[in-house]
Each structure stands twice: as structure tokens, then as C-alpha cells.
A and B are shown apart, each in its own frame.
Chain A
Amino acid sequence: MKAVTAIDQLAESYDLVVVGAGPAGLSAAARAAELGVGVLLVDENPAPGGQIYRAVTTTPVSDRDVLGADYWRGAEIVARFERSQASYAGSCTLWSIGPDAAVPEGGGFEIGLSLDGRARLIGARQLILATGAQERPFPIPGWTLPGVMTAGAAQIALKSAAIVPAGRTVIAGCGPLLYLLAGQLAAAGAEIVAVLDTTPRSNWLKAAAALPDFLRSPYLAKGLKLMAKARRSLRFVGGVTGLAAEGADKLATVQVERGGSVETIACDTLLLHQGVIPSVNLSNAAGCTHDFDTVQHCWVPRLDDWLSSSEPGIAIAGDGAGIGGAESAALRGEVAALGAAHRLGRLDASERDRAAAPLRAELARALRGRRFLDLLYKPAPQFLAPRRDETIICRCEEVTAGQVRDTAVRLGVTGPNQMKAFLRCGMGPCQGRLCGPTVVELIAEANGTTPAEVGYYRLRPPVKPITLAELAALPQSEAAVKAVVR
């Protein structure tokens, strides 16, 4: 691995640029580099690993049991990447993907990167986006109060800084991560006063059809162990139908509804989680087509067998291609790398197919049982489209569920881009990452239609903020100057 620590150390162009240093990006970059492809891996975090293997090479957590064996497996993925000839730019943000004006369409890209306050435009013949997942927004009244965080945030704090919530901590929501985090935080010494499960009881019936596959899946043993451990040692409350965080300037209590009964729990930290969804901001801004996946209940990019998107030259691997977990992410990264190497002329079709066959078999095994989890942990409707009007759904612009519902009905707004024009939801710094899914859900509900029909925000670069100074300091091509000079 060749470390790039300053923006001027980057080459003018690379055969392949991989975005994101989680299991998918690391595996894609390593595999492609092993095949002789000139690779640059860029990642906005200071160290490789992504979120699942966050800080695996640098974590200050010394007791290996706290994070578990699955976490430490990430060290091998990082080590393989480090042995490769790929270049690696950490703390480097990719903010735009555009066509390379110098080559025919589909022949390459011009990408905008920023590192340590300086920006550059460089070339990439092929791209693999491995930007992973984000937690699904969990809009409840009071979720903007200091003291309320995502469960993933607490896990990141634990992995990267060995810090745990101080004081009374409540974990709420649904999905496998909830149990994993509860176990990890408890092992790290946090005081978890309750785990509130919002999994709708009716989901068990819907998921039952997918049970046979799950029973043969690698998830089963792991999942049962996690659940048993969490349930044995922690207060576990099932059947939660409503949540609200309350407090003046910071969280003081969480109000828990279960059917008709209401309980108030005093706490210092509330950790929310209802599953993860692909991060689509970059692929959306790059023009890739996305479809609404009704089982995973989220937007996923439309991909072929080589994980190539609708935009020639852009492939998408890892959880950004649809949620599959860490093991499948690494495998998808390798498949995408083989596809890119073939398009770059490094592998002929038969070599590519031969190399992919064992990966595909592994992938099928790794994904077996996923459908059961997707069906079981699909969030309840009231946590996707909040019932209480005062619930903030756009955290940046402080737009409420009531405003979105009212605007959808009264003004006949049918899509999120129109809603943005009326209410500014999605126009703050997060660029819709935390409100997009909820806005779509609320519009669909108000108009009696589906998220698939409502569509999603049309996103545009820059997908991450850069300063005007960085933009202004970019070298201008002759064509760019001519475009604005009269």
C-alpha cells in the first residue's frame, strides 16, 4: 500500500478509484491491485475499516472480548490491502463525480477530492463506490435533543475511542445491531437500564416463510447467542409501539408506549436504531438509477451481475449495493473488482468468470437467511412515518412531520423535490441523508401511494461540503474558462 497524505501526492489519473475503506472497498482495491490495476482507495475516515471494522488497526479497546471475534476479522482484510500495491488516501473526501471531458462518454471520469483543506480534480477510468450504509432515520419526538444518538454512534465511539455512555442508558429500536450493541456496551461497563424492542409482533408471521433458509444460515447461531446474552443480563421490553425523548436542553426521560400503557424512564443517553439502509447520496448524484426494494424497504442502486450500475464505468459494492452485511460486502467488493479489471482489459471474460465462481458461491451462503432478518426487522409504520405532527423529520432545517403531511395534502405535493422547494427539507448540510426516507414515506402515506412511486431526492454534487476557497483554487481548464467568459 502506498499512503497518500497530501493532495499533491495524487497522480493525475488512476485506472480505478474505489470510494470507501470498509470491507467492500478494501477487498475491491486489494483484488484489483493484485491483478495489476492501478488503484486509488479514498476514504474520509482517518483509518481504514469502514464502520463495521472501524479503527480495527488503531482501536484503544484492549480487551478483545468486548468487540468480539467478528470485529477482529477485519484486521485480516486491512492487512491484505496493506500488502497490495494500491494507493490509499485516508481523511480524503470525494465530493463530485463527473464525466472526463477529455475522453469519449463512458471512457472515464473526473472526480473531485479534498484532503486537509485542499481540493483537486483527478481522472479515473473506472469507479467502484463502496460507501456502505447509514442507519435508517428514526424520527421520534425529541430525537434532536443532546443525549439522543444512534446506536451506531455509540458503537463507533466504543471502537474508535474506547468511550462508553456515562450514566443511565436506554437502547431502543429493532434489528440485529441492537442486541450486538447492547452486549458490547454492557461488556464495556455501560449502565444499560433498558432495551426497548419496537419489532412489530406481526412481523414474525410475515418472516416465517423465510425461516427455512434462515435456519441454515450463518446468522442463526450468532443471532441466538447475541439475543440470549442480551436478554439474560439486561432489562428487555418487547412490543414497544411508541417512543418520545423528552427534556429541556438535553435528554431527561424517554416515554415508552406499549399498546395502551405508557411508561417513563429517566435516562442520560438514548440510543436509537432501526436497521441500516444503503448510502445513496453519491450514487444518486452520479446519475445511477435506483429502485425501491420493498423487502429491505429502502432505495438500492440497479446493478448487474458484476455490480455495475446504470452508469457505464461505475460499479457499487458492499452494503451500498443493498444491505448484506460485512461478509457479503467483502465478497461483493472482489466481484466488482473482477468486473472492473475485465473492463480495463486486465482479465479476459473466461478468467474473470472463473475467478468469480467461488466468490459467488460464498456470497450465496453469506446472504442466506438475510430475507428473514429483513422481514422480521422491517420497522413499524409509525416509526417510518411519525404520527405526532410535532416530530422533527428534517433535522437540519427543523421541518416537522405535520408540515410535510399538511403540504402534501393541501398543496398536492407528490414528490420530495417539490416538497424541498416548499419546506427546505433536504436542503441543509446533510443533503437529505437524515430526512429523505421519512419525507418520501410521509408523502406516500398522505397521497395513498408507495415510496417507489413517490421517488427520491435528485441529488447533485458537491455531495460533501467543500469551501469556496478550495473550489476557487482549483486549476481551470481552457474549456472551463471559456464557458464563463463572454
Chain B
Amino acid sequence: MFRSMRDAKAGARLSFTFDGRPLTGREGDTVTASLLANGVTACRETPVSGVPRAPYCLMGVCFDCLIVIDGIGNRQGCLVPLREGMRIETQHGRRQPEEMRG
């Protein structure tokens, strides 16, 4: 879990949802940074054993920050800037065939 440091420059606030919960983040932050700042500890469950996983490297290398953004899965949250109204969801394991058809 993370928190903002003192004296950080305030930016414009953007609204987004995480698993349906309304949250706000700073404009200019990535999706992952916004979730960390909101105290979100895990962003996905692994496809192999289903255990919770959180962002690890924040530089596009580890792919542990994979998340569903506006209905599209496997996005690297640490590389995607937060946008107003984004619908962000936990990525649950591997994709199921019924999700593909939708």
C-alpha cells in the first residue's frame, strides 16, 4: 500500500471505478500508481494457481500489473495513463471461452 508524500504537487483529480467502487486519482498518474495510491494491494489473480498478485516492477518488465481496463484484459497498468471515467477491474485468472464470445 502507498500514500501520497507531503508537499506533493496537487494535480487535477480524475474519477474512475475499480471493481465498481468509485475512486479518484491524480491526472498524470498511471493506472497502477492510482490503484496503489488508493490502497489497492492486488490487481489480479494468477492464471495458474489463482493466488492474488500485485504490481512488482512498475517499469513494464514483470507483467504482474496486468489488469482489465474498459473491458480489455491483459493491459499493463503501469504503462497506461489514468483517464477520466475509466472502468478498471481485477483480472481473474485466465480468460474463459464465454468471455471471448461477448
Contact = CB atoms under 8 A, between A and B. Distances in A.
B77 interface: no
Q: Is the interface of A mostly helix, strand, loop or mixed?
A: loop
A157 B57 contact: no
B88 interface: no
B1 A268 contact: yes
B29 A161 contact: yes
B5 A188 contact: yes
Contact of B56 (A148, A161, A166, A465): A148
Nearest to A279: B61
B5 A162 contact: yes
Contact of A160 (B30, B54, B57, B74): B30
B79 A166 contact: no
A465 B59 contact: no
Nearest to A145: B54
A432 to B, nearest CB: 11
B56 A61 contact: no
Interface string A55-69: 000101111001000
Interface residues of B, number: 44
Contact of B7 (A62, A150, A152): A62
A150 B57 contact: yes
Given A161-B37, A395-B64, A156 B1 contact: no
Contacts of A166: 1-3, 39
Interface residues on A, range: 35 or more
B8 A157 contact: no
B51 A144 contact: yes
Contacts of B4: 162-164
A146 interface: yes
A265 interface: no
Choose among A45, A63, A149, A152 the residue with the greatest number of B CB atoms under 10 Å from its CB.
A149
A146 B44 CA distance: 10
Contacts of B57: 134-135, 149-150, 152-153, 434
B78 to A, nearest CB: 8
A85 interface: no
A167 interface: yes
Given A91-B81, A147-B54, A189-B6, A165 B26 contact: no
A46 interface: yes
B63 A160 contact: no
Given A395-B64, A433-B62, A162 B9 contact: yes
A189 B5 contact: yes
Contacts of B9: 60-62, 162
A428 interface: yes
B46 interface: yes
B33 interface: yes
Interface in A178-204: 188-189
A429 B53 contact: no
13 contacts: A60-B9, A63-B7, A134-B57, A134-B61, A149-B54, A153-B59, A163-B8, A166-B2, A166-B39, A395-B56, A398-B49, A429-B63, A467-B72
Interface of A: 44-46, 51, 58, 60-63, 66, 91, 134-135, 144-150, 152-153, 156-158, 160-167, 188-189, 249-250, 268-269, 279, 395-398, 428-430, 433-434, 465, 467
Given A150-B56, A434-B56, 15 more contacts: A46-B81, A60-B10, A61-B5, A146-B41, A146-B54, A149-B55, A156-B58, A157-B2, A164-B4, A166-B1, A249-B42, A250-B41, A395-B64, A396-B63, A467-B72
